[in-house]
Structure formats: C-alpha cells, structure tokens
A = this chain, B = another copy of it.
Amino acid sequence: MDPVICTVDVALLTLTAEGLEVALLKREHAPFKGVAALPGGYIHARTDVDARDAARRVLLDKTGIAAPYLEQLATFSGAARDPRGWSISIAYYALVPATTIAQTERDEVRLHSVDRLPPLPFDHGDIIGTAVSRLRSKSQYSSLPCHLLGDVFTLPQLQRVYEVLMGESINKVSFRRKMTEMDMLDPVDGQFESGAHRPAQLYRLKPAFREQLQLLERGL
C-alpha cells in the first residue's frame, strides 16, 4: 500500500456585478507558498468523519464561511499534480451569496472572476473549470442557482441569476411558469423591494430545498 497524499479542496463560488467569481487565498506553506489557490488542506483522519466533513472544516477554517450548499464535485488524482508525490484531492464546490463573502472577517479571501484567473498551482484551474461547468449545467434544470442569492429574493433577481449562469436571456412568462412548476418558493408577505417602480414580491426557498435540489423534467 503505497503512501498517497489525501487532501480536499473547495471551489467557493459566488455571483457579483463582475459575474461568476471564485474565492482564492494565498498559500501559507510550500509548495507554491504565497500563490493564490483554492482553500484546501489535508484530510484529518483522527477528527474528520468523512471527506465532506473535512471540506466543511477546511472552508470554515480558511475563510470563516459555513456554506449552506456544499456538494462533491470530483476527485483529482495522480503522480503529476503535486510535487510532493502521488496525491488525491477530493474537490467540493460551495455556493454562497456575495454578501456572505463581503461580511467575512478574513480579508485574505479574494474573489477572482472565473474568466480571468491568475496562474494557479496544482490542477486548481481544472477544478475551478469543472466546478463552473457543473454549476452552469445543473442550473439548466434545477434549483441550484437559488443558493447564490440571500435568504429572501425576488423572481426578477432569480431570473437574472439564471440568465447570467446560462449566458442567455430567458422568456419571463416561461421562467415564471417553471418556477411555479418547481413549487420550491414560499412568498414572504408584506415585504417588497423598493425603487422608482413597482416593487417585486419577495420569496424564500422552501425548507425542503435548502440542501436538496428540486429538479425539472424538461429543463430551463
């Protein structure tokens, strides 16, 4: 049984005015000390229940963020990806509203547009690329994009999130039909967005879909 380096990495994604962004931190130790990279670390077999638990711990320790949505992405492995030796990274991706990152105490956490990434160590570029395509793909037929917004949000806000992720505009009537069909939103009465126009109804994700996604038969 040859020794293998076992790590987890987390692609923490959020949506800002700049578009889709990923959180990077400067590495504290060699190799690649000082280079911006995904938050990650060794699996602690003594204390972590499983890899998901390790990912949650690493994300909280390095960014101060307890992400409500955390899903396994894929496992990256091999002899070539880490100069220290044959290694495994069980990669996860997490979604948070942009406000969550703005509010964290750790100002080491820096957001980078996924379309303009700096040179990244290991295969972190591949991990981010895989995370972004997974997010875009799942957005076509699930409630996943809701997790990029805060606790309450309006349908026009949600539609803009879907549109940015899918890279195309969506018919308003169809979008609202689909949201009704998905039956995943609870209206929040008496609350509205303000501005020089008609305010929009606020909604909240139904509790059943906070961790479990709602899927659509036919997409969009």
A residues lining the B interface (CB < 8 Å): 1-6, 42-46, 48-52, 72, 74-75, 77-80, 85-86, 88, 90, 217-219
Q: What CA separation (Å) do A77 and B18 show in the bound complex?
A: 36
Number of copies: 2
Would B6 and A4 count as touching, CB distance under 8 A? yes
Partner of A218, one of B42, B46, B51, B219: B219
Contacts of A74 in B (CB 8 A): 72
The A interface, classified by DSSP as helix, strand, loop or mixed, is: loop
Of A5, A44, A48, A75, most buried by chain B (CB within 10 Å of CB) is A75
Residue of B nearest to A216 (CB): B219
Please measure, in the bound complex, the distance between the C-alpha atom of A74 and the C-alpha atom of B2, giving whole angstroms.
22
- Cβ contact within 8 Å between A88 and B219: no
Given the known interface contacts A6-B88, A88-B88, the answer about A75 and B51 at a Cβ–Cβ threshold of 8 Å is: yes
Partner of A75, one of B3, B44, B75, B79: B75
Q: A6-B88, A50-B77 are in contact. List 17 more A-B contacts (CB 8 A).
A: A1-B5, A1-B6, A2-B43, A2-B44, A2-B46, A4-B4, A45-B86, A49-B78, A49-B80, A51-B75, A51-B78, A51-B88, A72-B75, A75-B90, A77-B90, A88-B88, A218-B218
Out of B4, B51, B217, name the residue touching A43 (CB < 8 Å).
B4
Choose one: B50, B72, B86; the contact of A78 (CB below 8 Å). Answer: B50
